[in-house]
Structure 1
Amino acid sequence: MMWGRVRPPTVRLSQLDRVRLRRVAVRYAGHGWDVTPGACLARHRFVCGRAGCPTTGCHPALEQWEQTATADPARVATWWRIRPHAILLATGRAFDVLEVPAYLGRYALEQARPRLYGAVSGQLRGPVAITPGGRWMFLVRSGEPLRPELDNSLYVVRHGPGSWIPAPPTRLPEGTVRWAVSPEESRWRLADPYCVQELLIEALEVVTPSLPAPLFPAHLPVPRRGF
């Protein structure tokens, strides 16, 4: 028997998916989060429609996405008028994102929940998204660089200016991006980045499984190329 990579299931997005994606994208924009349309998922790859684009993973549909990303709900609605674009949120504006593997994210969230009723409740309360590939994304207030303990880790990525993340309910070939802590649950507040980083540093010290190194350095705030 020959062993090979298991092909992800074929995904077809419907008209209902497009309407739902548009509604959610408009809601993000209405809360001041800059949105840009992502390439559309077609079977096992993302298609943006740009001639010669070699990227098959999740990526922006617009070449000048940094200039066109907006929190204008009316403008955002027009992007989803015809096609079921992925929802991408520009980082380094309303918020930064700390992206970590599941073992760090799960530990940090489990430790944060009991502390939400203490003196640091407002500092730890913030949205947390999870990709189907197991990457946890903590939305935090922007501008705080990674602390050295995290900057030296190959498993932690800070998304600041010039980067983006896929937002729920965007579908990837492996499944749907979802909220572990939704914006509504956190009342659209953002967590304090220093406090979240403290929890992640604690997680690094407590839980240290053997993981393959990611393909990019942890400190580069560069545009995403997919998951």
Structure 2
Amino acid sequence: MWEKVRPRSVRFAQLDRVRLRRIAVRYAAHGWDVTPGACLARHRFVCGRAGCPTTGCHPALEQWEQSATADPARVATWWRLRPHSILLATGRAFDVVEVPAYLGRYALERARPRLYGAVSRQVRGPVAATPGGRWMFLVRPGEPLRPELEHSLYVVRHGAGSWIPAPPTRLPEGTVRWVMSPEEARWHLADPYAVQDLLVEALDAVSPALPEPLFPAHLPAPRRGY
């Protein structure tokens, strides 16, 4: 009797779900609050909620803030059947400072000589990047943006009530990835003062070099969803 062979696409979807579940559980095990995101179906996200008009990346649960948890067992159940995106709630274990890639890249280059000095623990922390060109610095929570960053159209602080898509969540343009992984940072969160100092340096150094007419047109505006 022939064994029924599942289509390759189904097998890949199952492997993707298992991988996402494993990584989501690992985040939770390190104290990061996780919530399931809508599933990417071709070029739009589907959460399963009747009448939901959102097609971009968004939480799958309507009351996601109350449901987000760092309980590994509960997190595992969300990925039992569907390959949900992995969303991390901010303003709890960490805040996120989100910037354009050109600022993030410059800041990290400026930070490299400091990574092995006396202040290495202050500037070393996880950094994620979206395929759309946004870099996300995970920092200790509670510190507001410095005025120089707060007044920039391209810098966003994610605190309480917000979330970010975590690697390896897939977006229509590609996969969210770690520029500096939590393992590389030893799950240490960067000091928000030190990171913001680097970003202010980057903003001062790079922004004047950009042609004024091109500056707003070629950089993605910050947004809550992805």
**Common fold, TM-score beyond 0.5?**
yes
- Which moved further from structure 2: 77-86 or 206-215? 206-215
Aligned partner of residue 74 in structure 2, secondary structure: helix
For 1:205 and 1:196, locate their aligned partners in 2 and report how far apart those are by CA, in whole Å.
14
Gaps of 5+ in 1: 1-10, 218-223
1:225 match:
225
Matched, 1:57 2:62: no
Q: How much identity, in percent, do the aligned residues show?
A: 82
For 2:54 and 2:220, locate their aligned partners in 1 and report how far apart those are by CA, in whole Å.
18
For 1:105 and 1:197, locate their aligned partners in 2 and report how far apart those are by CA, in whole Å.
11
1:110 match:
109
Matched, 1:15 2:14: yes
CA deviation vs aligned residue, 1:154-212 (integer Å, no higher than 9, x gap)? 01000000000000000001000000000000000000001100000000110013133
Given that 1:125 and 1:186 are in contact with CA atoms closer than 8 Å, whether structure 2 keeps it comes out as: yes
For 1:137 and 1:112, locate their aligned partners in 2 and report how far apart those are by CA, in whole Å.
15
Q: Tell me the CA shift for residue 214 of structure 1.
A: 5.5
For 1:190 and 1:184, locate their aligned partners in 2 and report how far apart those are by CA, in whole Å.
11
Aligned partner of residue 62 in structure 1, secondary structure: coil
For 1:113 and 1:127, locate their aligned partners in 2 and report how far apart those are by CA, in whole Å.
14
Bigger proportion of residues as helix: 2
Aligned partner of residue 14 in structure 1, secondary structure: helix
Whichever residue aligns with residue 169 of structure 1, its letter is P
2:45 match:
46
Q: Tell me the CA shift for residue 118 of structure 1.
A: 1.4
Given that 2:133 and 2:220 are in contact with CA atoms closer than 8 Å, whether structure 1 keeps it comes out as: no
Q: Tell me the CA shift for residue 225 of structure 1.
A: 2.4
2:216 paired residue among 208, 211, 214? 211
Aligned residues: 210
2:92 match:
93
Q: Tell me the CA shift for residue 114 of structure 1.
A: 1.4
CA deviation vs aligned residue, 1:123-162 (integer Å, no higher than 9, x gap)? 0010000000010000000000000000000010000000
Q: 1:187 to 1:216 in 2, by over 3 A?
A: closer
Gaps of 5+ in 2: 1-8
TM-score (ref. length: structure 1): 0.89
Given that 1:111 and 1:199 are in contact with CA atoms closer than 8 Å, whether structure 2 keeps it comes out as: yes
Q: Tell me the CA shift for residue 215 of structure 1.
A: 5.0
For 1:166 and 1:107, locate their aligned partners in 2 and report how far apart those are by CA, in whole Å.
23
1:130 match:
129
TM-score (ref. length: structure 2): 0.90
